[in-house]
Amino acid sequence: MLEALLNAWRLPDLRRKLLFVLGILFIFRFVAHVPVPGVDLVSLNRLFQTNQLLGMLDLFSGGAMRNLSVAAMGVYPYITASIIMQLMVPVIPALEAMSKEGEFGRHKINQYTHWLTVPLAALQAFGQLILLQSQGVLGNVGLQGSSLLPTLAMVISMTAGTIFLVWLGELITENGIGNGVSVIIFGGIVAGLPSLAGQGFVGASSGNFMGIFVFAAIGMLLVAAIVFFQEAQRRIPVQYTRSLFRGGKVYRQGGASHIPLRVNSAGMIPLIFAASIMIFPGTVASYFMVSSVSWVANVAQVINRIFDATGPVYWTLYGLLVIAFTFFYTLVIFQQQNIAENLQKNGGFVPGIRPGRPTAEYFNAVLIRITWAGAVFLGLIAVMPFLAELLTNVRALQLSSTGLLIVVGVVLDFMRQLESQLLMRNYEGFIR
């Protein structure tokens, strides 16, 4: 692997791509430290220690939200817009027809996704400012009187920061290596590793050496398991027939191939869906716990206890939701691909299965069967922070399963693309 990296660095065009990616990441980290004015950083840090929703959003901003910088929302609104568009394609006939128009259709859907990102970013920015004002972190936030212009300035700045990061990600996709938006998220997560290591040294200095060691071992095993399940796939054999006309006669030629169905084709999306749903009730209930109406305050306290992120009920529900969303998202995305229909149009068939509807039913049956393994795996990944804390009694460190999935997935994709670039130039890649 080291030799392959050195070979990539020796090639001028690959070296230029790598330096371009590093330069974009440097710009991203610089923007992440440009703050929005008027923030009480002490109160903001105290809020992040108690609010799980802000902690999840901070994951995608690369720590920029802890400073409430112009890039505080990261590329999260763009991810939300992408998920919404993916779910709307099979629902809206015009979008479904557009998705079948090849490169032009994909370009138009991508354009709509960018347009949708702007209002989503503005709404999320305003919601975050209102939330921070209610916690005493910000003042003079609103849409009336003297607070209108400062609020608009902050909302526009944060929205522009998100669009700027999306643009940086697309520059990486076009001129660098890897998926740009994923690389931006990866850079933000990796930027928080030094502080995580510092927390580990603090835990070790307090005498819990064995807990830190077990925690690190769990992290390494988790990375290995993620790599295994991310790369695991079921290969469906496919035969292709082609007709050739020569000398007034028809000749049949065939070829063999396969269609790979991934065990975990949903990636990290089910974790994001489930975390958003699990965090929302507790966040809303926290605002009604101080209500003057006694029954409202009591109901809010019960909901807050049920959805407390330190309790087993929360993590059990979280794991079950991840499993459910894995099946939902996998089946929705798979139906959009129309593999059986495209296979029939190209003269392909699965041996022993009739083309058309029987082939589609066969693919669905195989997909559901292998998705059980991916869904259970993601469910275990989701509850792993709770299990790691129970096993190690280490509370200073936070093992983010979503963050690990993103980091490992981006590294695998980056290595895969770099390997393809090396193989094109007759160099040996990473896979031996």
Same domain? 329 vs 346: yes
DSSP character string of 413-429:
HHHHHHHHHHHHTT---
**3-state SS assignment for residue 249:** strand
**3-state SS assignment for residue 252:** strand
Residue range 34-57: mean pLDDT, rounded = 67
More confident residue, 305 or 427: 305
Residue range 387-399: mean pLDDT, rounded = 63
Identify the weakest region by mean pLDDT among 186-190, 355-359, 389-393: 389-393
Same domain? 224 vs 358: yes
- Determine the Cα–Cα distance for residues 142 and 99; give it in Å rounded to an integer: 40
How confident is the model at residue 72, as a pLDDT? 82
Which one-letter DSSP state was computed for residue 251?
A: E
Residue range 281-307: mean pLDDT, rounded = 74
How confident is the model at residue 66, as a pLDDT? 72
Chain mean pLDDT for the chain: 77
Confidence bin at 262 (pLDDT 50/70/90): confident
- Determine the Cα–Cα distance for residues 169 and 185; give it in Å rounded to an integer: 9
Crossing angle for the helix pair 401-424 and 357-392, to the nearest 10 degrees: 120
Same domain? 278 vs 133: no
- Considering the domain boundaries, does residue 198 fall inside one? no
Residue range 145-169: mean pLDDT, rounded = 85
The CATH number of the domain holding residue 372 is 1.10.3370.10
280 token code pair: 């929302």
Q: By CB neighbour count within 10 A (0-12 exposed, 13-18 middle, 19+ buried), where does 328 fall? A: middle
Confidence bin at 167 (pLDDT 50/70/90): very high
Residue range 30-34: mean pLDDT, rounded = 84
Same domain? 163 vs 239: no
Please, where are the H alpha helices in 135-257?
Answer: 148-175, 180-191, 193-205, 209-231
- Considering the domain boundaries, does residue 196 fall inside one? no
- Considering the domain boundaries, does residue 200 fall inside one? no
Who's near 177: CB < 8 A, 6+ residues apart? 14, 17, 18, 21, 414, 417, 418, 421
Backbone angles phi and psi of 238, in degrees to 5: -135, 140
Q: By residue range, what is the domain housing residue 88?
A: 1-191+406-432
How confident is the model at residue 223, as a pLDDT? 82
Same domain? 246 vs 134: no
Residue range 244-265: mean pLDDT, rounded = 67
Residue range 136-156, pLDDT digits in tens: 677 677 677 777 787 888 888
Confidence bin at 199 (pLDDT 50/70/90): low
- With a cut of 70, say whether residue 431 has pLDDT above it: no
Q: What percent of the chain stands above pLDDT 90? A: 3
**3-state SS assignment for residue 266:** coil
Nearest to 384 by CA among 358, 402, 361: 402
Same domain? 128 vs 270: no
- Considering the domain boundaries, does residue 108 fall inside one? yes
Q: By CB neighbour count within 10 A (0-12 exposed, 13-18 middle, 19+ buried), where does 118 fall? A: middle
Same domain? 19 vs 160: yes
Same domain? 15 vs 136: yes
Same domain? 182 vs 253: no
Domain count, the chain: 2
- Kindly report the pTM of this predicted structure: 0.75
- Considering the domain boundaries, does residue 201 fall inside one? no
How confident is the model at residue 163, as a pLDDT? 92
Q: Amino acid letter at 358? A: P
Same domain? 256 vs 221: yes
- With a cut of 70, say whether residue 202 has pLDDT above it: no
Same domain? 158 vs 241: no
Cβ pair 322, 271 in contact under 8 A = yes
Same domain? 111 vs 43: yes
- Considering the domain boundaries, does residue 152 fall inside one? yes
- Considering the domain boundaries, does residue 310 fall inside one? yes
- Considering the domain boundaries, does residue 199 fall inside one? no
